[in-house]
Amino acid sequence: MTPLEVIRRKRDGMALSPDEIALFIRALSRDELSEGQIAAFAMAVFLRGMNEAETVALTLAMRDSGTVLSFANAGRPICDKHSTGGVGDNVSLMLAPMMAACGLSVPMISGRGLGHTGGTLDKLESIPGYNIAPDSERFHRLVDEVGCAIIGQTADLAPADKRLYAVRDVTATVESVPLITASILSKKLAAGLGSLVLDVKLGNGAFMTDVSEARALAKSLVAVANGAGTKTSALLTDMNEPLADAAGNAVELRNCIAFLKGEKRGTRLEAVTVALGAEMLLNAGVEKDHGRAEQLCRDTIASGRACDVFARMVHGLGGPVDLVERVDDYLPKAAIELPVLAQDSGFLSHIATRDIGMAVIDLGGGRRRATDQIDHSVGFSGFLPLGTAVNKGDALAMVHARDEQSAEKAKETIIASYVVSIEAPQPRPVVLERL
């Protein structure tokens, strides 16, 4: 069997065996395939699909194309969470220390911003000295001693995915559920997880806007991860408005620290973070009762334990030891702060969430090209949630910008993004389904 034969069989709609898939991924990892062959394989999968067994085999082959981490000495369940991305989604920053405070170990491999969605690593790099690429010894020590560490993907974790994704990105084959599934899970499972929780976003600020598409992706991710031996569940969550009341990098770090200090109780952000935390505790076998699991999550905030873990993680990765106490002394602050005022009175009934994410990029808080430099200080804060009653002239949000021209442009984007109606909209649950 050769890679050419693997391509031909998938092109003709045949199911590939684990050995055939492993052969192709090995050849890809060894740089034995041309760009054309990789593109042909991706297109064949895009058009013909893969069954669950094939997708499990592809995920495992990509996982095993590089180093698979082990935290056997941690003495605690090893778990993680992955989000498909949204605007103002800074859940990872709070969830990892919350779970560590509950007795789990969370070796969280995170990414940068993708499209209109923000990236956890970009947010963490707002912190002076924070090292997103520590050596293996430091990473393992932090996970063992602190309970969590949030870092970036290293070159030796699922390297096959990096090359395959680069080809998919330029051949219109990104939107393939089997390829998306294998791409996400190969990197996560390379962290040596015992369990995983997935947050699949749905709405006008997510990559998936259709509920059937989001559900199909969630089902695929859950089935394949479990088929690969990692206990996994997923939540479908609403992304029809920014999840946090901030969008940007340093502004979301400030939001994170406020959350850990107990200042964001009763918000949609708390609801999603607690729901995901409860799932992690249930999947890890630490707790069997869902209500009790949620209360354990909230207790880590009320007691200050999660905040303490976050501070220790930041310092352990090179950040300031007193970041939590002296946030404004360390995090960058934009030169211009401009309030966005409501143009009418009524109820906030809709917001074009994707436009908010793109406006962060326009301000300089995200990348259009991989080489772009990020301004970590810019973004938005103080978003009012949908359903809020406002009077004309009330502040809807605050723009953080480097100059007045970009601030004015961002203000107009926010004004155009909000719809103010006479009647209050029907409230929507933030957690839509569990799979």
pLDDT tens-place string over residues 136-186: 899 999 999 999 999 987 778 889 998 898 888 788 887 899 999 999 899
Q: Which residue of the set 10, 63, 76, 81 is catalytic? A: 81
Query: Is the separation of the CB atoms in 129 and 320 below 8 Å?
Result: yes
Residue 67: other Cβ atoms inside 10 A = 17
Write down the catalytic residue from 63, 112, 123, 187: 187
Which burial class, exposed, middle or buried, applies to 66 when counting CB atoms under 10 A from its CB (0-12, 13-18, 19+)?
buried
Taking CA atoms, 10 is separated from 1, 25, 26, 161, 251, in Å, by 13, 14, 17, 19, 47
Does residue 324 sit within a domain? no
63 within a domain of the structure (yes/no):
no
Residue 402 annotated among the catalytic residues of the structure: no
Determine the Cα–Cα distance for residues 112 and 64; give it in Å rounded to an integer. Answer: 23
pLDDT tens sequence across 183-217: 989 989 998 899 999 999 999 988 888 899 899 99
Q: Establish whether 195 is a catalytic residue.
A: no
Q: CA 113 to CA 119: how far, in whole Å? A: 4
From 282, 316, 350, the end of a domain falls on: 316
Residues in the chain: 435
Residue 10 a catalytic site member: no
d(CA 407, CA 363): 8
Report strand pairing: 418-421 vs 346-351.
antiparallel
Q: 10 lies in which domain range?
A: 3-49
Shared-domain flag, residues 349 and 311: no
End of a domain among 281, 316, 351? Answer: 316
Residues 256 and 181 in one domain: yes
Q: What is the pLDDT of residues 402-422, one digit of tens each?
A: 999 999 999 999 999 999 999
Same domain, 307 and 350: no
Tokens of 18: 């684990």
**Known catalytic membership, residue 80:** yes
Q: Name the residue with tokens 């709405």.
A: 203
Q: Strand, coil or helix: what is 347?
A: strand
What local confidence, expressed as pLDDT, does residue 26 receive? 96
Instruction: Spot the catalytic one: 10, 63, 76, 82.
Output: 82
Q: Is the pLDDT of residue 325 over 70?
A: yes
Q: Which helix (H) or strand (E) holds 39?
A: helix 35-48
* Residues 84 and 180 placed together within one structural domain of the fold: yes
123, 140, 168, 215: which one is catalytic? Answer: 168
Decide if 261 is catalytic. Answer: no
**Into how many domains does the chain fold?**
3
Q: Which stretches of 359-423 are assigned E, i.e. beta strand?
A: 379-381, 389-390, 395-401, 418-421
Residue 10 resides in a domain:
yes
Distance CA 430, CA 308 (A): 28
Q: Which residue from 146, 162, 333, 356 is spatially nearest to 240, judged by alpha carbons?
A: 356
Assess whether 116 and 226 both reside in one domain: yes
Whether 162 sits among the annotated catalytic residues: the reply is no
Residue 57 lies in a domain: no
Catalytic residue among 83, 117, 273, 300: 83
Do 366 and 268 belong to one domain?
no
pLDDT of 114 strictly over 70: no
Catalytic residue among 10, 55, 65, 80: 80
What's the CATH number where 175 sits?
3.40.1030.10
User: Which residue out of 183, 186, 195, 413 is catalytically annotated?
Assistant: 183
Same domain, 177 and 267: yes
What's the whole-model pTM score? 0.92
Known catalytic residue: 82? yes
The one catalytic residue among 29, 120, 154, 353: 120
115 confidence band (pLDDT: 50, 70, 90): low
User: What gap in Å lies between CA 113 and CA 401, rounded to an integer?
Assistant: 19
| Cα(82)–Cα(117) distance, integer angstroms | 14
Assess if residue 272 is contained within a domain: yes
219 is catalytic: no
What is the arithmetic mean of pLDDT over 366-387?
Answer: 88
Residues 349 and 305 reside in one and the same domain: no
Q: Are residues 311 and 400 located together in one domain of the fold?
A: no
Residue 19 is part of a domain; what is its CATH number? 1.20.970.10
8 Å CB contact between 308 and 260: no
The phi and psi torsions of 268 (rounded to 5 degrees) equal: -60, -35
Q: Looking at the structure, do residues 298 and 198 belong to the same domain, yes or no?
A: yes
CB-based contact 120:303 (threshold 8 Å)? no
* Catalytic residue flag (residue 116): no
Determine the Cα–Cα distance for residues 301 and 263; give it in Å rounded to an integer: 10
Q: Choosing from 188, 215, 231, 312, which is the catalytic residue?
A: 188
129: left (phi over 0), alpha (psi -120 to 50) or beta: left
Q: How far apart are CA 281 and CA 291, in angstroms?
A: 11
Amino acid at 50: M
295 and 348 inside one domain: no
Confidence of residue 281 (pLDDT cuts 50, 70, 90): very high
